[in-house]
Amino acid sequence: MSRPIAANLEIRSTGKGDHIACRSCGHALAPAGQPWKRQAILRELSMNGAGGKAYTGAREAILRQFGCPGCGALLDSEMALPGEPFLDDIVRA
């Protein structure tokens, strides 16, 4: 059984408990209630000029993209300053 929690994420119930998983391929990322982004593929891009005209601070800001290790599907993205911790989405079953 599975429950969608985002466009490409779901909670899957298995014999080993509930896990946050990729909706595209079913790859389990983390147990429900635990941070999952550390198990994803991380891509960091400069925000300088991304999506149009640059803005003040664009040289410092980065876009983080989190992909599925199983199929490469984009799972989430966030803006941050280099070195800042991830914005952990903790989803409980």
pLDDT digits (tens, 9 = 90+) for 3-46: 999 999 999 998 889 999 999 999 999 999 999 999 999 999 88
Q: What's the start-to-end Cα distance of the chain, in Å? A: 12
pTM, two decimal places: 0.86
Looking at the DSSP bridge assignments, the partners of residue 13 are 18
Are 29 and 22 in contact by the 8 Å Cβ rule? The answer is: yes
Is 86 inside any structural domain? no
Are 20 and 13 in contact by the 8 Å Cβ rule? The answer is: no
Is 93 inside any structural domain? no
Number of separate domains in the chain: 1
Residue 87 and residue 93: Cα distance in Å, rounded?
19
pLDDT digits (tens, 9 = 90+) for 32-41: 999 999 999 9
Per-residue pLDDT, 54: 63
Per-residue pLDDT, 32: 93
Is 26 inside any structural domain? yes
pLDDT digits (tens, 9 = 90+) for 48-81: 766 666 666 556 889 999 999 999 999 999 999 9
Is 88 inside any structural domain? no
